[in-house]
A and B are shown apart, each in its own frame.
Chain A
Amino acid sequence: MRIQKLLNVIIIVALTLVCMTPLGVHAYGVSAECYDDTTATIHANGVTVPGVTFYGGTSTFPERAYTAYDYSTGGFVVNSLWNAHSDGLYWEEIGFGRGWHGQDINHFYWAYNHPVNGYFEMKINKNPEGVGTSHTYSIYPLHLEGYQHFWYVRVDSFNTYVGMPDLYTSDYLCTGGEMTSSQSTFSSTTSSSLQYYTSRNQGGATNWPNDNNKTFCVSKTPLNWSWVSYPTSGSAWK
């Protein structure tokens, strides 16, 4: 009699699970909403120093345990280094994150935008080494005589480059976080260093004048960032 009861309970549970499965799977493929929680903040360093022209920069930060709540709809959490130009049309970025186009994986990536060539992003062929492992990220221009300008985008010994025919300086440098769902977890996005270069090919590395954490928040559509606390040295861009 007891066995019969137990069997019945097992069958009921099994049938209930079967019923629930398609409801859960259905969440896959639903288009994502961008992060729209202005009460949350994410740490960041850098941006601009008035009157200073950069030749890219470098930052060091560790792999951290992030969760990307909306990974199945293309969402992500990343900790990145950005190098950009004041018109907002040119930028390069490289970083580490969780969630890559539907895959719930830790990964390194890089991306750039160019007003003519467009936008490009790519997962780097480099395996994460585990939470706590620090990596040094760099973005800097390389000029070969007779050729156009290239921007190197580097994490540790891995490097790639992108042609930016008409630019080899920048006036925006930032390291921090980016996420697409307020339900993702983001323990920290601080970096242990941020330096900008004062000449090409990684020359004249200079510490960021105020390397303390700053905070910013993000709203959606279009994806917009705004500073909650402004750098005390330098100025927030835009």
Chain B
Amino acid sequence: MKFEKERTGAMRKKYSLILILITVVCIITLAAVFISTGLDVRATDVKPGSSAIIDRDDAIEIAEQVANWNNAGQDKAQSPALDGVTELTVAQYTDEVSELEITSSEPLLSGDTTDSAVWVVSFTGSFSPRRCPVGTEPPVYSIIEISLDSRDGSVISVRMHD
């Protein structure tokens, strides 16, 4: 009986020591990760498609990620620079050709409507579409404009131009 109690006590001590060791290792690992990747961890707070209402700073954060994914510069020093932020109350695209401003030099678009506020965040840098037809080389543009649904931060559209 006495032996059994001593054995149990020893086991408890052993497990306690293991637990303490694991806890210490975890704390050190967590601290190291958060210190070394502080900004990136912050970036995970806001993801496209999340359910939170997206404020201005969140919109910039998400758009910056999208801009980086389309960064044509291989040198990370060429990270995009914030060019401007606009909030549209409603994005409305007409379905009728006749309603468009035909002489506009802007892209003429149609077929989609959203009743949500839209953040439009633009960056300057070097950007290239990741999509292109077979056999073509993607063009490079100096400005990227990313439109985000303010309800969830999802990307509505991406435009690149000079």
Contacts and interface: CB of A to CB of B under 8 A. Distances in A.
Contacts, number: 207
A73 B23 CA distance: 32
Contacts of A12: 18-19, 22
Contact of B136 (A5, A122, A238): A238
A159 interface: yes
B37 interface: yes
Interface of B: 8, 11-12, 15, 18-19, 22-23, 25-26, 29-30, 33-34, 37, 40-41, 43-44, 47-49, 62, 65-66, 68-71, 74, 76, 93, 97, 102, 105-114, 128-139, 141, 143, 154-162
B159 A118 contact: yes
Contact of B47 (A34, A80, A102, A174): A102
Interface of A: 1, 4-5, 8, 11-12, 15-16, 18-19, 22-23, 25-26, 28-29, 31-32, 34, 44, 47, 73-74, 76, 78, 80, 82, 84, 88-89, 91, 93, 100-103, 105, 111-125, 142, 144, 147-148, 150, 158-163, 172, 174, 176, 178, 180, 216, 221-227, 236-238
Given A88-B136, A91-B136, A180 B130 contact: yes
B69 A47 contact: no
Nearest to A165: B105
Contact of A15 (B23, B33, B62): B23
A40 to B, nearest CB: 15
Nearest to B47: A102
A230 B138 CA distance: 22
Given A11-B19, A25-B44, A102 B110 contact: no
A93 B47 CA distance: 27
A160 B37 contact: no
Contact of B109 (A102, A160, A225): A160
B49 A102 contact: yes
A28 B137 contact: no
A173 to B, nearest CB: 9
Given A8-B15, A28-B43, A113-B139, A102 B48 contact: yes
B107 A1 contact: no
Given A88-B137, A117-B161, A162 B131 contact: no
Contacts of B47: 28, 102
22 contacts: A5-B15, A8-B15, A8-B18, A15-B26, A22-B33, A23-B33, A80-B131, A91-B136, A111-B131, A113-B129, A119-B139, A121-B129, A121-B159, A122-B112, A122-B157, A125-B113, A160-B110, A163-B102, A216-B134, A222-B128, A223-B132, A237-B135
B22 A16 contact: yes
A177 to B, nearest CB: 10
Contacts of A119: 129, 139, 141, 158-161
A221 B68 CA distance: 15
Contacts of B160: 118-120
A31 B72 CA distance: 11
A89 B112 contact: no
